[in-house]
Structure 1
Amino acid sequence: MERDFSITVRRYGPTLHVTLAGELDLDTRSALDDVQAAFGDGVAVLCCDMVHLAFMDVTGLHRLLNLARRTDGRGIAFFAYNWQRQPRRLLDLTDSLYPPDGHGEPRSKPTSMLSRTLRDAAVSHRATGVETVRAALSRRRM
């Protein structure tokens, strides 16, 4: 059964702004491939606006997490915002399946990449950028 789903991709300088709308589920599992295809030279940030994402199943969550990991692996800051009730609940339920470790310490939440704030993303990528610059400078000195 085909469900309504759409993706709008816009680029503003180094920022790729993506709006997901409808239902991200098994039927739309390959839809996020278009987002990765939109990566080009100079993309530094991927912003996903979830204001129109009404529903997401586990398959959609898996695909979105894969997109976030691939983005992060390329050194591109990723963050999603304006989560609606059902997708937010799926993130919370998924995270609740990972109780603290045996020592009472919290475990890393599997959906943490989708829940990062802009400040969190900026801090982590600023640190990554500093390490990249340091590595480049040390190579030049050799």
Structure 2
Amino acid sequence: MHFTTEIDGSTARITVHGEIDYDTLPLLRDAAAGLPASVTDLVWDLEHARFMDVAGLHLLFEEQSPEGPVRRTTVTNLAPQPLRLLMLATEVRPGLELTRLFPDTPTALLDD
């Protein structure tokens, strides 16, 4: 697994290439934690992450550190398997807010 990071103003895009699992989770957390404080929006681009296990849920839904900057986290370009995992997670824990991760997606599409 490897990733690329692009920063454009206050937005950072981290594009993951490979699987997201417990082996790769610390590296991805470190990438997000290492972003400049001026970054207020973090976009996880998962187009090339064809597999994600529960570690990906921890990455996307974990609470932000009180010492770090507040960042709006979103996800784009989900492959079918990671998307299905997110949908299953909301079936098990209905309180998970997918609308936070997909702010531009109509809620009706997420409820199907």
TM over 0.5: yes
Q: TM-score, normalised by structure 2?
A: 0.76
Gaps of 5+ in 2: 107-112
- RMSD between aligned alpha carbons? 2.7
- Say whether 1:87 aligns with 2:73: no
State the shift of 1:96 in Å: 0.9
Number of the residue aligned with 2:102: 116
State the identity %.
31
Matches of 2:41 and 2:79, distance apart in 1: 22
Moved over 3 A (4+): none
State the shift of 1:117 in Å: 1.8
Higher relative contact order (CA 8 A, sep 6+): 2
Matches of 1:117 and 1:75, distance apart in 2: 17
- Say whether 1:58 aligns with 2:49: no
1:41-56 equivalence runs, <5 A: 41-56=37-52
Which has a greater percent of helix? 1
Equivalent residue pairs, number: 105
Q: TM-score, normalised by structure 1?
A: 0.62
* Secondary structure in structure 2 of the residue aligned to 1:55: coil
